[in-house]
Structure 1
């Protein structure tokens, strides 16, 4: 009996220890507006994937709250006088999550992969790089084809994310990603969750306080809020404007808001894929301009966002020093009709608009549908999961698409890939040799005044060419548990977890 009692006592102690261990494991649950696409920084394009990469993949450099470039895996750097050589000194003692060493050879591998991998969406972002030279294990030199004022900013995001070379060489990397960040990939269930776990050998482990981070894609903002209020989420991005008052009134929650860099707009299919020849927006820019003029951006902001958003007519947010001071045109249905008549287009014009399958986007689509209907556009809304929408947009399987961009600190990152004729995100296949020249010149000078003048020309030209009808700039609005401490919202909208912890 005594032996049996001891065994039971020991078993009970083990169960208790296991229970205490499970309780001690801390988990941060973050709500996202959609499921990210593939978890490969060189192939990914969704805003939501950037949340995961921010926790999983260190970049060569980062940005601070004022959008200034700060050290990341590169501790310091120096430009040559002609701006065509960039020398970086690398952080030492860093390992990837599979144990592989991070060094200059790994940087060379990553940059060359981003430039040559079939389907890489980072190619145009870092296309100025001609070669990468390893000068020592802790120093790498980028030789550029031409000066590139935007390169450091690009390296602060997915183009600068460092992937473990051995893992990245495998064909299944997107389903088993390996980086060098504070959290490593654990598991994923599509449309349900992405689970990351603490990387125990991370070089700055002490700044991170959760054992696990779970990203939960919940397209409906009201459902995300309900999960936050019930305690099933600790933090969520994308609080709807209509829910701001609810969060502020709940003593268990806090609201964090910052003016963002991102925009939302309508991309016109001008020359991409099989639908382009029969697409009315492909034949005459005046049709695109007419569609844009039929939209009342102020009314859209009030109806869909309770005045929380900012009407837009360009890619550069008001928080950007490169924002062009150009008034957003008022709605003008009569001018829209006149443009259609001048283009020789008969109304009604039947078109299909791709819209993400969440209530906010659907409402925006419905408001646009009603507005442009008065100018002669008969719009059919086609709802789609976000990653599917982007895939169709990329393939050219659309006429109109309601989609946006999360914005970048450097203006080049918010416009070049979408507007340049060779841009990897130019899903409408807009092409203008003059605009290409201005964009390239803006890339090649570090003179701020010269860059501003060039972007001013681009923005004015796009008012008539209208490859994208910019609608509004989005604030980044987060809701979180009052117990969460140390979280700050940054203009790029990403969640940075250093210093974030749960109050006991």
Structure 2
């Protein structure tokens, strides 16, 4: 079968997306963030604080559609598969440039994707496993040769990790190794997206200004973005961030605590948005046999099972999200393609949890440490509730409040005991979260150390399966395995809570999480 996509997709989408009033250009939007970015490198990062900035600095060959559910042309205007689905050819736009004015070529796309798919340099390399080689036969053509057909390849090419970077500029950056060059370049990146980085004061402030060479046109027939800039202010404390929003110092704030949503809905100066999402909240449990040289109680699957049955998800949804959330019915969100499940996982049963603890010989109790984000009201609420619930079965939960950078470092190193975790899909395909959750070769299953050989085998098969019905069955099996044995305590899924000043128009957060500022504007 031969597939062909073109700018027609974008035209059809544009017919259904618009603003009620004529856009106005100019002004700087000030956005309050809960944490700063850590490393602005598309290939190697795996955290949202980086990803949601990168989507404004870099474009990909193919972009997610404006509703996050499909595809639309990005740096490539068209693409087509060969008859055997093992060769994908993409054609680049004419005259596209990086934010420094240098041309974007197929050689840059090849270099970027080769680096991303290399396990030594790409955190998400497992998603690109099907690629055998990439060619750039001329400056405007990219040819991707596959080892086998890949049902997820097109969505994967929309991911932040597929961003096209300026290869010559990076190679020319000072540094003994490529890793050194990328580290230096990431402090002052030159990108292909609607904005460019003007300045960055770590843990305090980041300023973006328009990329003067950006290709995409706005509703007024002029290049996007509409804004003169976006200033991100890092304010870890939820209460302080909201106070500054209400006083008019901020134009917008992310991750509004659900306890404050109703209050902000009633504020006449604000628009309290709940954007549709793929966001899930869960407890990640480190299941390695030892931590810090001592036996790890969470290595015992019986303890993990008991914790799940002792957790009243409905109560947490009520306490923390004030009814905005819903209990998880699988390890992936209900909005994720091929999701299976219509009942909450592990309905609360304290008596059963106690019986499991008894059978496991844990009657005398056990101590567990949970890492939470300091200043985050939702996480404090979850942790406090878990502390009380787990105490009923003899589990002493120690709550450790730390900053985001420290927790992320421990998580990636596999040295964390347990932690509250948030996930949101970056592509409209289940392969991303599944590779992260149970494909051990990727990141050792959410960095927990859990491994299931059967799950690994099924996932590898699903990455080659072009029959939709067979692939759906494989994902059903994968969800059954993880939902019954996985190293998490699934909690809930929720929309993205973002509060905006009334003057902010056109801002969008996709179900894939990306904060998109290219079409945002300020009403004067």
TM-score relative to the length of structure 2? 0.87
Q: Give matches, 1:178-327, under 5 Å.
A: 178-204=190-216, 206-271=223-288, 274-275=291-292, 278-282=295-299, 284-327=300-343
d(CA) in 2 for partners of 1:289, 1:240: 29
Q: Counterpart of 1:405?
A: 423
Secondary structure of the residue aligned to 2:249 is: coil
d(CA) in 2 for partners of 1:320, 1:386: 26
Report if the CA contact (8 A) 1:347-1:377 is conserved: no
Report if the CA contact (8 A) 2:508-2:517 is conserved: no
Instruction: Note if 1:365 corresponds to 2:383.
Output: yes
Report if the CA contact (8 A) 1:313-1:469 is conserved: no
Report if the CA contact (8 A) 2:290-2:296 is conserved: no
Q: Deviations over 1:455-481 (max 9, x none)?
A: 111111123312222211121122111
Q: Give matches, 1:335-346, under 5 Å.
A: 335-346=352-363
Report if the CA contact (8 A) 1:124-1:417 is conserved: no
Q: CA 1:105–1:471 in structure 2 vs 1: closer, same or farther (change >3 Å)?
A: same
Report if the CA contact (8 A) 1:87-1:140 is conserved: yes
Q: CA 1:82–1:293 in structure 2 vs 1: closer, same or farther (change >3 Å)?
A: farther
Q: CA 1:372–1:54 in structure 2 vs 1: closer, same or farther (change >3 Å)?
A: same
Q: Deviations over 1:166-204 (max 9, x none)?
A: 333342122122211111111111211111111112223
Aligned-residue offset at 1:119: 5.1
Aligned-residue offset at 1:75: 1.2
Report if the CA contact (8 A) 1:168-1:178 is conserved: no
Q: CA 1:26–1:66 in structure 2 vs 1: closer, same or farther (change >3 Å)?
A: closer
Aligned-residue offset at 1:207: 2.5
Report if the CA contact (8 A) 2:56-2:518 is conserved: no
Q: Counterpart of 2:15?
A: none
Secondary structure of the residue aligned to 2:352 is: helix
Aligned-residue RMSD, C-alpha: 2.0
Question: What are the ranges of 5 or more consecutive residues in structure 1 without an aligned counterpart?
Answer: 1-23
d(CA) in 2 for partners of 1:337, 1:146: 49
d(CA) in 2 for partners of 1:484, 1:58: 24
TM-score relative to the length of structure 1? 0.90
d(CA) in 2 for partners of 1:91, 1:101: 11
Number of residue pairs the alignment of both structures matches:
480
Report if the CA contact (8 A) 1:253-1:480 is conserved: yes
Q: Give matches, 1:430-441, under 5 Å.
A: 430-441=450-461
Report if the CA contact (8 A) 1:186-1:197 is conserved: yes
Report if the CA contact (8 A) 1:274-1:396 is conserved: no
Aligned-residue offset at 1:392: 0.1
Q: Counterpart of 2:133?
A: 131
Q: Counterpart of 1:3?
A: none
- Alignment match of 2:166 (pick from 160, 164, 167): 164
d(CA) in 1 for partners of 2:267, 2:414: 45
Report if the CA contact (8 A) 2:331-2:482 is conserved: no
Secondary structure of the residue aligned to 2:215 is: coil
Bigger mean CA offset, 297-306 vs 26-35: 26-35
d(CA) in 2 for partners of 1:138, 1:273: 52
Q: Give matches, 1:75-154, under 5 Å.
A: 75-116=77-118, 118=120, 120-154=122-156
d(CA) in 2 for partners of 1:388, 1:208: 34
Q: Give matches, 1:439-454, under 5 Å.
A: 439-454=459-474
Aligned-residue offset at 1:237: 2.0
Aligned-residue offset at 1:309: 1.0
Bigger mean CA offset, 118-127 vs 273-282: 273-282
Q: CA 1:27–1:91 in structure 2 vs 1: closer, same or farther (change >3 Å)?
A: same
Q: Deviations over 1:341-361 (max 9, x none)?
A: 333334311111111112221
Aligned-residue offset at 1:488: 3.4
Bigger mean CA offset, 178-187 vs 82-91: 82-91
d(CA) in 1 for partners of 2:275, 2:209: 28
Q: Counterpart of 1:47?
A: 48
Aligned-residue offset at 1:493: 2.6
d(CA) in 2 for partners of 1:191, 1:273: 33
Q: Which has the larger radius of gyration?
A: 1
Aligned-residue offset at 1:487: 2.5
